[in-house]
């Protein structure tokens, strides 16, 4: 019995158990509501189905959340990722729309390179404000969050730019080995970030800076450079996500692309077990968190929940997920259960009167 309880506690105590359990429960609830929810079929050499759609639509959020994880692990936060998505998509679509041959691969690659370059400059701007000048991260990135939307609107001149480019559309809707190409892009980014942060000393350095930047500096680590690099990488991930968002609809809307994606990314990071205080970070948990957010969005649409109540529904579910996986909440709940009085016990029975 003790061995079984020990194994149970070891499994439930794993940082990925509760997020994974919540994801499984959500998928099961969708299957009960719509029995064909998990069905996958092959058409014209491509796989289709709700699980495939969840993975494809999760790809932009996974990319943004990966960059957000690195920033949060340094003790910062990046509220400008949504604006960077809009700017990168606007630049790419603007350049492609002005070319005579929009299906040219060279044209598309040039547009992507230009947009990615601008995104890196924006990430460097955030890094300088935080790491060099010393502005608080939430204020520094809030500046670009607000100004970036205006810049995206300026690029598009307040219009929705539509393009007809098959190579660009493939970023969001293309297929590779029967699966959407967006899934492979997100997977490649996750493996690349994991390789640099878990197979080299970079991950430990990032965690040490997030744990105590001053102590890391005294230990010989250039904390400013690490923080600067985190914001640059976050902007790069947001730019690629912006390409996917605009490619899905073959148009760029400076006011709508990436709107509030920064909040979903922060939620995905927190659900995955990374603390907002900085320090330890968990990339696998971030990916599961992004899948939970997208599955929740799909659930809202599948269950025909009205738009007026969908945000409230998502908020309630996210709060429940965070409480379930919080060790302090579970420990307090367990203590209350153990301390609850048990009825009909011997101690509760009145003692017999002893005759004098």
Q: Which of 269, 274, 264, 305 is nearest to 286 (CA)?
A: 269
Distance CA 161, CA 100 (A): 15
Q: What is the pTM of this model?
A: 0.88
Bridge-based pairing of strands 40-43 and 46-49 is: antiparallel
Burial class (CB in 10 A: 0-12, 13-18, 19+), 265: buried
Asked if the model's pLDDT at residue 279 lies above 70, the reply is: yes
Distance CA 146, CA 140 (A): 11
When mean pLDDT is compared across 99-113, 135-149, 178-192, 262-276, the lowest value belongs to: 262-276
Average pLDDT rounded to a whole number, residues 243-247: 95
Confidence of residue 140 (pLDDT cuts 50, 70, 90): very high
pLDDT tens readout for residues 337-347: 666 555 555 44
pLDDT at residue 215, as a whole number: 82
Confidence of residue 356 (pLDDT cuts 50, 70, 90): very low
How far from chain centre, in Å, is Cα 111?
Answer: 25
Average pLDDT rounded to a whole number, residues 90-113: 94
Q: Are 62 and 186 in contact (CB under 8 A)?
A: yes
Q: Are 278 and 75 in contact (CB under 8 A)?
A: yes
Q: Are 86 and 242 in contact (CB under 8 A)?
A: yes
Asked if the model's pLDDT at residue 238 lies above 60, the reply is: yes
Interacting residues of 130 by C-beta distance below 8 A, sequence separation 6+: 76, 136, 137, 140, 141, 227, 228, 231
Bridge-based pairing of strands 175-176 and 40-43 is: unpaired
CATH number assigned to the domain covering 49-325: 1.10.3470
């Amino acid at each position: 019995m003790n061995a079984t309880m020990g194994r149970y506690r070891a499994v439930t105590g794993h940082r990925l158990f509760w997020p994974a359990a919540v994801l499984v429960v959500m998928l099961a609830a969708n299957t009960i509501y719509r029995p064909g929810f998990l069905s996958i079929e092959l058409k014209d050499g491509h796989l289709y189905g709700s699980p495939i759609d969840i993975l494809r639509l999760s790809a932009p959020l996974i990319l943004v959340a990966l960059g957000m994880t690195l920033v949060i692990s340094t003790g910062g936060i990046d509220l400008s990722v949504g604006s960077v998505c809009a700017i990168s998509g606007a630049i790419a679509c603007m350049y492609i729309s002005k070319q005579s041959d929009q299906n040219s691969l060279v044209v598309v690659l040039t547009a992507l390179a230009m947009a990615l370059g601008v995104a890196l400059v924006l990430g460097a701007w955030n890094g300088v404000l935080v790491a060099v000048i010393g502005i608080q991260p939430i204020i520094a990135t809030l500046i670009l969050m607000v100004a970036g939307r205006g810049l995206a609107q300026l690029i598009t001149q307040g219009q929705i730019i539509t393009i007809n480019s098959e190579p660009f559309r493939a970023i969001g809707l293309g297929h590779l080995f029967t699966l959407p190409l967006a899934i492979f892009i997100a997977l490649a980014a996750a493996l690349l970030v994991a390789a640099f942060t878990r197979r080299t000393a970079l991950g430990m350095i990032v965690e040490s800076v997030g744990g105590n930047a001053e102590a890391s500096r005294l230990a010989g680590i250039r904390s400013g450079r690490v923080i600067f690099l985190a914001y640059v990488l976050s902007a790069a991930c947001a730019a690629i996500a912006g390409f996917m968002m605009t490619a899905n609809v073959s148009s760029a809307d400076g006011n709508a692309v990436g709107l509030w994606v920064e909040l979903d990314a922060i939620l995905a990071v927190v659900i995955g077990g990374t603390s907002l205080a900085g320090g330890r970070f968990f990339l696998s948990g971030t990916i599961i968190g992004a899948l939970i957010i997208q599955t929740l969005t799909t659930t809202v649409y599948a269950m025909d929940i009205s738009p007026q109540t969908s945000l409230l529904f998502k908020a309630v579910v996210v709060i429940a997920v965070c409480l379930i996986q919080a060790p302090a909440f579970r420990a307090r709940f367990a203590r209350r259960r153990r301390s609850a009085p048990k009825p009909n016990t011997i101690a509760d029975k009145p003692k017999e009167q002893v005759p004098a």
